[in-house]
Amino acid sequence: MERIRLADDLTFSRLIHGCWRLADWGYSREQLLSLIEFCLERGITTFDHADIYGDYTCESRFGEALALKPSLRGQIEIVTKCGIKLPSKYGMKLYDTSKTHIIASVEQSLAHFRTDYIDVLLIHRPDPFMNPEEVAEAFVRLKQDGKVRYFGVSNFKRSQWEMLQSYLPFPLVTNQIEVSAYRLENLEDGTVDLCLEKRIPPMVWSPLARGAIFSADDDRAVRLRGTLEQVRSEVGAETIDEVLYAWLLVHPARMMPIVGSGKRERIERAVRALSLSLSREQWFAILQSSMGHDVP
């Protein structure tokens, strides 16, 4: 599988496996280990987490599976996120990007994963109460201590990215953003443009729009399904899932879609998309179908 370079000594697999719903899959440690190995056999080596996933349980479940075969740690890249506090643990939902919380969250993640380093740590959401000096201090300390190799953000817009980057002595390596043929906000508001400008490959969450393209009955979803089916037939894909992934993969921003499923057949569909090549005309047909009109 193609590798995407984020830094001189860091590459991600072009497809990333997402663990947001891991707690819902009902897998035993052995079954989860088998799924991790299934991904590795297909070239998917990068795994996306967050401290809050599964109400603070997904990281530890993943770590328990890895503990069954510790040698796999050196074959994978672990991405995790911090900065959100959930009501279940803190009584209300809020953001916390204080130095104390970031460092404590990383220490907890390290214990959950049973590892001594995180490959990439992301700030999960823009924090309106962020003190960027504290974030920078936390990042520098974690890097100096060897606990986090690289840092990035998630769901940041241009001004938020540039503000935080201005306080850091090293570059942020990615922005994890939502992009799909159904959700165009980050394509339209300049967020993807920022990634191109900074040469930062974005991680892309919900590339299938959380299933809305398959089940929603609004005009956009109905139009899209028709166009995606047409393109599927033209390129010889088995499912429109593959076309949706291919639409992202062909974009020059070097997007890295996150496949957030525990079902092997859905992971296989994403892998098959790597062999598809959409024409410019097909790419714009999907875009314009989502927009409901021709490009300006």
Catalytic status, residue 150: no
3-state secondary structure 180-237: CCCCCHHHHCCHHHHHHHHCCCCEEECCCHHHHHHHCCCHHHHHHHHHHHHHHHHHCC
Average of per-residue pLDDT across 65-84: 98
| Band (167; pLDDT cuts 50, 70, 90) | very high
All domains of the chain in start order, with CATH: 1-214+243-275 (3.20.20.100)
Residues 97-116 pLDDT 10s:
999 999 999 999 999 999 99
Query: Tokens standing for 94?
Result: 């809020």
CA-closest candidate to residue 186, choices 160, 212, 219, 213 = 160
Could you give the residue ranges of the DSSP H alpha helices within the chain? Answer: 29-41, 53-56, 58-67, 87-90, 99-113, 132-144, 158-165, 185-188, 191-198, 212-215, 219-235, 240-249, 264-273, 280-291
Active-site entry in 27, 53, 95, 245? 53
CA-closest candidate to residue 159, choices 208, 205, 117, 126 = 126
Residues 191-227 pLDDT 10s:
999 999 999 999 999 999 988 889 899 999 999 999 9
CA-closest candidate to residue 106, choices 116, 95, 94, 93 = 116
User: What does each C-alpha distance from 119 to 1, 9, 18, 199 come to in angstroms?
Assistant: 19, 11, 15, 19
Residues 133-155 pLDDT 10s:
999 999 999 999 999 999 999 99
The percent of residues above 90 in pLDDT, for the chain, comes to 96
Is the pLDDT at 295 greater than 90? The verdict is: no
In one letter, which amino acid is 65?
A
| Band (296; pLDDT cuts 50, 70, 90) | confident
153 within 8 A of 176, measured Cβ to Cβ: yes
